[in-house]
Amino acid sequence: MTTVTLDAVSVTTQANVYFDGKCVSHSLTLADGTKKSVGVILPSTLTFNTGAAEIMECVAGACEYRLAGCEDWLPSRPGERFSIPAHSHFDIRVTQAYHYICHFA
């Protein structure tokens, strides 16, 4: 099930801009202190490093991703999620705008 809204959040108004604007997100803090980010990745192939464990939720568009140590690219479409361990990395391949919520574990 795709998350449509996040209620009772504090939003950091300055955007996080990565990879020359190919990825733009905003940081959110929920009332209980939970941290998330929401953003969009434009068509590209990128590699992201993780500090904390993350769960990427597709809310629109689509992507393919490849976790560290894996050879296969796996699809992610609206309503689907994939998990990335802490202190790791993943590749993401986007052919149409990929809208996401990053849930920090």
Tens digit of pLDDT for each residue in 35-92?
Answer: 999 999 999 999 999 999 999 999 999 999 999 999 999 999 999 999 999 999 999 9
Instruction: Answer whether residue 10 is part of any domain.
Output: no
Rg, the chain, Cα only? 13
Q: For residue 1, tell me if it sits in a domain.
A: no
The answer to whether residue 92 is domain-embedded is yes
What's the rounded Cα separation, in Å, for the pair 2 and 43?
21
Rounded Cα gap, residues 66 and 17, in angstroms: 22
* Residue 57 domain flag: yes
In a domain, 9, yes or no: no
The residue range of the domain holding 65 is 15-104
Res 4: pLDDT = 87
Does residue 2 belong to any structural domain of this protein? no
Q: CATH number of the domain that 33 lies in?
A: 2.60.120.10
Residue 48 lies in a domain: yes
Number of domains making up the chain: 1
